[in-house]
Amino acid sequence: MQGARVRLLRSIVSVSRAWGIVVFLGLSSALAPPSLAQDFSGRTDRPSVNSFGLPGLIDMPSADAFPDGELSFTVSHSALGSRGTIAFQVLPSVTATFRYSGIDIPSAAGRDILFDRSFDLHWQILEERGGFPAVAVGIRDLAGTGLYGGEYVVATRHFGEYDQVAVTVGLGWGRLAGRNGFTNPLGIIDDRFETRPPRSFGLGGTVTLDQFFRGDAAFFGGVEWQASDRLRLQLEYSTDVYAREGAGGLPAPDSAINLGATYAFSDLLTGSAYVLGGETFGVSVQMALNPNRPPIPASAGDPAPRPVAVRTPSPTPYETDWVEQPGGGPVLRDNFAQLFEDQGLFLERLTLDARRATIRVRNEQYNHESQALGRVLRAMSAALPPSVEVFEVIFVVEGLDTSRVRIARSDVELLEFDPGGAEVAIAVAEIEDARTTPDPVGLDVEVERPRLTWGIGPYFDASVFDPDNPFLFDVGVEFSAEYRFGNGFVASGVVRAPIVGTLDQAQIVNEMPPPNPPPVVRSDGALYHQESHVYVDRLTFSHYGRPAENLYSRVTVGYLERMFAGVSGELLWQPANSRLGLGVELNHVWRRDYDGLFGVQDYNVTSGHISAYYSLSDSFDLQVDAGRYLAGDWGSTITLERTFDNGWRVGAFATFTDVSFESFGEGSFDKGLTLDIPFAWFTGNSTRASNGGIIRPVQRDGGARLDVEGRLHNLVIDYTRPSFEETEAMIWR
């Protein structure tokens, strides 16, 4: 290298000649699709699941626990009711569930079918160890209407050479003490345990602490036999007499003996059939997903990266006169365009002097942020002249500079194949706010992205667990367009034309209107589907900005969401190295007309929140919002999410405002589950797309928030140090 002038050359593909020869020879054989099907045969260590979607026998619980992080979906059906349960293993010992059931008896609200929503908690206090059984305690219908209300303490122990026999014995209360009950042994502690007070009102949703473990108790139990690798047989003595169902005319079982069989179709899918009390036949299907056990290794489908291009060692300093080379900028721009090709990475701007280069990149593909970082660093190693020793990468989101990741080029060269190189690379990288250090002054290359983007395609909109309907959906055509004016100004809009669907059948009016209800802001959502044809989903003009170091801003004006139009402003403080972020949001909005066109109704409100976002650990994120909600109610929302490094998020939230539980109506307060599942986890092909949403037992008017696009924390959090650390294993992938 010494002696020769360092020139920026258009051809960076130094191997093209050799590569051409291989192609010419026609010797490269296609990579066979790798065999990705894991060996799912053989005995699973997953516990059997009862008809309530929890570890158990048939109707009764056991003391087992699901593997940590497992999300299981169970649907069970018999003449005594249908249940759909989502169970999540929040911690290695704690299972939480949400259940939606439909029972063919009249409801108190006058409906033909009783639809009920319930939450459970199951806590394995002791693991089975050293001959001692596992012990678990659980509460069914923790905060629902109390239809399934029951509590239990249960022990399970395995016997036999291969642990093939599991014996379960438990003590139940409430609904689980329906047969051969006796005086509550907890009465020794306090006489009050001996009576179980009735529910005070039928709204549900509140935690009925005064009922738990009170009233008569009863013993239940059962035996499970692992008959073969895939088949298990169960026999249980049940204390659930289905009294409410029997009173409604359904065939409540006379006998306490239930028999069942469970067959594992695969490690993920099991099916069960059972007979309750010798007369009522039932079936259930369970599917399990575990974020910790992807069906395919992370990024397995991604092409191999271009290796780091290492500089030739030079006894004299690398030449720097390339900085003055005329036309150097366009050469670099073209080279990066070639290096980023087919990678979903887009150069926005490159500024560099002889020693330092700062690249601004849009990452539209890699869901593991460190993988995107690694690919950008490798491209820099290939494109930049050898005198550039400091690499800085700034990922740009919605035109916003996020963090500035600085790493020495020599470290990139050194760590590529080091066994601990992934962890070390992130550890030695300096990560700071993009605004902390000025960009180098010298060459400056900017790439203008296309101003207008648009698309026409199908859309799918679904609502689950509406009080009257377990599943409602719309399918239609969506037209979307976005125009970027530059300097952070964006206009964007979505117009939808539903073709077929049932969303207009959602519940509109509660048959029992609550006393002193808050203004209607969300509960008539179905009217927006009933009274519209082609509608404007969103039409907004926004500005995203960086007013100061660690600060991000957003202003959005227009038709913000399907039900509200107005103006929304937000300011976020989020340092690049911090687990804590703080935000303020202020909105003034009008309710939109039901037809989904441009009119608004009289109701308008100023709402807004102060928010704190805190990453408790690698596994849990906490968000607290306090402020004014859409119905003008004041209060706060707490959201706790279990997070996984691969992008899975499973959480729950609850909102308490000055709307009383009575005035709120069914459910007492706003609450629900949040779910975010990255598509890449299923396919192994990097994509930032994910699917998820909020599952609410019931949508009322208290504690409702505006649903505006582009909230800042979601946009920028992926490029802070904690996120790079979570995905660090992927930097050299």
Partner 1 sequence: MALRSAIFSLIMICLLAGCGSRADDPLLNTAQSLASGAFSRNAPEAPRVDPRAVLTRDLINRAAVPLILVENDTIGTSSTMTRIATNGPNETWQGDGDITITLSSEGLLRATRGYAFDLYSTDIEAARVALVQRRGGSAPRVHSAVEGDIQTVQTGYSCEIGFGGSEAINIFGRVQTLTRVIERCTLQLGNGAPFENRYWVDGDGFAWASEQYAGPQLGHFRIERLYR
The residues in 458-517 that bind partner 1, with binding defined as CB under 8 A, are 458, 477, 480
Neighbours of 89 (CB within 10 A): 25
Query: At closest approach, how far in Å is the CB of 658 from partner 1?
Result: 39
Q: Which of 455, 486, 547, 599 binds partner 1 (CB under 8 A)?
A: 455
Nearer to partner 1, 346 or 541 (CB): 346
How near is the Cβ of 484 to partner 1 at its closest, in Å? 12
Q: How far apart are CA 112 and CA 469, in angstroms?
A: 12
| 700 is a site residue for partner 1 (CB under 8 A) | no
Cβ nearer to partner 1, comparing 364 with 511: 364
Looking only at Cα atoms, what is the longest distance across the chain?
Answer: 97
In angstroms, what is the minimal distance from the CB of 425 to partner 1? 12
In angstroms, give the least distance from the CB of 595 to partner 1. Answer: 23
Which of 365, 507, 523, 607 is close enough to bind partner 1 by CB under 8 A? 365
Give 151 or 302: the residue with its C-beta nearer to partner 1. Answer: 302
Contact partners, residue 385, CB within 8 Å, separation at least 6: 6, 8, 318, 319, 320, 322
Q: Under the criterion CB under 8 A, does residue 617 sit at the interface with partner 1?
A: no
- The window from 41-49, 183-191, 362-370, 709-717 that contacts partner 1 (CB under 8 A) reads 362-370
Per the listing, tokens 């150097």 go with: 328
- What letters, b where the CB count within 10 A reaches 16 and e where it falls short, cover 477-487? ebbbeeebeee
Q: Which of 231, 462, 548, 689 binds partner 1 (CB under 8 A)?
A: 689
674's tokens = 């949040």
Q: Which of 64, 245, 302, 474 binds partner 1 (CB under 8 A)?
A: 302
Choose among 653, 638, 639, 634: nearest CA to 703: 634
Between 302 and 625, CB nearer to partner 1: 302
Quick one: which of 3, 326, 438, 457 contacts partner 1 (CB under 8 A)? 457
**Closest approach of partner 1 to the CB of residue 288, in Å:** 15
- Using the rule CB under 8 A, which residue among 129, 452, 487, 515 binds partner 1? 452
Instruction: Write down the least CB distance from residue 730 to partner 1, Å.
Output: 6
Q: Would you say 29 or 487 has its CB closer to partner 1?
A: 29
Order of strands, sheet of 390-397, starting from the edge strand that comes earlier in the sequence? 430-433, 400-408, 390-397, 356-363, 345-352, 443-446
User: Closest distance between partner 1 and the C-beta of residue 426, in Å?
Assistant: 11
* Of 528, 396, 529, 544, nearest in space to 474 by CA: 529
Q: How far is the CB of 422 from partner 1 (least distance, A)?
A: 6
Q: Which is nearer to partner 1, 76 or 371 (CB)?
A: 371
Cα–Cα distance, 543 to 400 (Å, whole number): 10
The closest of 111, 2, 97 to 52, measured between CA atoms, is 97
- Indicate which single residue of 111, 179, 306, 711 sits in contact with partner 1 (rule: CB under 8 A): 306
Tell me whether residue 21 or residue 509 sits nearer to partner 1 (CB atom).
21
Distance CA 100, CA 144 (A): 10
Q: Contact region for partner 1 (CB under 8 A) — 257-265, 272-280, 418-426, 665-673?
A: 418-426
Q: Which residues contact 193 (CB under 8 A, 6 or more apart)?
A: 184, 186, 187, 213, 214
Among 60, 143, 422, 698, binds partner 1 (CB under 8 A): 422
Helix axes 328-339, 369-383, angle to 10 degrees: 140
Shortest separation between residue 162's beta carbon and partner 1, angstroms: 21
Please, what is the minimum distance in Å from the beta carbon of residue 22 to partner 1?
Answer: 5
Considering CB under 8 A, how many residues would be counted as binding partner 1?
Answer: 79
Name, in order, each residue with C-beta under 8 angstroms of 200's C-beta and a sequence gap of 6 or more: none
**Minimal distance, residue 163 CB to partner 1, in Å:** 21
The smaller minimum CB distance to partner 1, of residues 147 and 396, is found at 396
Is position 293 an interface residue for partner 1 (rule: CB under 8 A)?
yes
Within residues 71-130, the interface with partner 1 by CB under 8 A covers none
Pick between residue 609 and residue 721 the one whose CB is nearest to partner 1.
721
| C-alpha pair distances (Å), 279 with each of 58, 249, 254 | 14, 15, 9
DSSP 469: E
Distance in angstroms (rounded) separating the CA atoms of residues 411 and 428:
8
Task: Report the residue from 144, 149, 294, 386 that binds partner 1 according to the rule CB under 8 A.
Answer: 294
Q: What Rg, from alpha-carbon coordinates, does the chain have? A: 30
Burial of 172 (0-12, 13-18, 19+ CB in 10 A): buried
User: Do β-strands 356-363 and 390-397 pair in parallel, antiparallel, or remain unpaired?
Assistant: parallel
Distance of alpha carbon 275 from alpha carbon 254, whole angstroms: 12
In this chain, which of 47, 174, 205, 291 binds partner 1, going by CB under 8 A? 291
Closer to partner 1 by CB, 72 or 101: give it: 72
The pair of structure tokens assigned to 214 is: 């009170």
Q: How far is CA 595 from CA 501, 590, 665, 724, in A?
A: 17, 14, 27, 44
Residue 309 lies near partner 1 (rule: CB under 8 A) = yes
Closest separation between CB of residue 380 and partner 1, Å? 14
| Nearest-angstrom CA–CA distance, 7 and 320 | 10
Plot region of 418 (φ>0 → left; ψ -120 to 50 → alpha; else → beta):
beta
The residues with which 121 forms a beta bridge, in sequence order, are 96, 139
Distance of CA 279 to the CA centre of its chain: 41
Per CB under 8 A, 266 contacts partner 1: no
Which of 171, 308, 565, 605 lies at the binding interface for partner 1 (CB under 8 A)?
Answer: 308
Nearer to partner 1, 27 or 209 (CB): 27
Q: C-beta of 388: minimal distance to partner 1 in Å?
A: 17
Q: Which is nearer to partner 1, 116 or 416 (CB)?
A: 416
C-beta of 532: minimal distance to partner 1 in Å?
A: 19
Site for partner 1 in 310-349 (CB under 8 A): 310, 344
In order, the DSSP letters of 361-377 are EEESS-SSHHHHHHHHH
Within residues 627-686, the interface with partner 1 by CB under 8 A covers 644-646, 679, 682-685
Candidate segments 94-102, 197-205, 435-443, 446-454, binder of partner 1 by CB under 8 A: 446-454
For partner 1, the closer of residues 130 and 420 by Cβ is 420
Which position has the token pair 């926004």? 542
**C-beta of 146 vs 291, nearer to partner 1:** 291
Q: Measured between alpha carbons, how far is 679 from 205 in angstroms, rounded to an integer? A: 33
CB of 249 or CB of 307, closer to partner 1: 307
Binders of partner 1 in range 1-40 (CB under 8 A)? 15, 17-19, 21-22, 25-36
At residue 423, the 3 state secondary structure works out as: helix
For partner 1, the binding residue among 83, 140, 244, 688 (CB under 8 A) is 688
Structure tokens at 453: 């983007």
In whole angstroms, the minimum distance from the beta carbon of 266 to partner 1 comes to 16
Q: How far is the CB of 38 from partner 1 (least distance, A)?
A: 9
Asked if 368 interacts with partner 1 (CB under 8 A), we say yes
Q: For residues 698 and 667, is the Cβ–Cβ distance under 8 A?
A: yes
Site for partner 1 in 128-187 (CB under 8 A): none
Six-digit token string for 229 = 């690798």
- The answer to the question of residue 417 lying near partner 1 (CB under 8 A) is yes
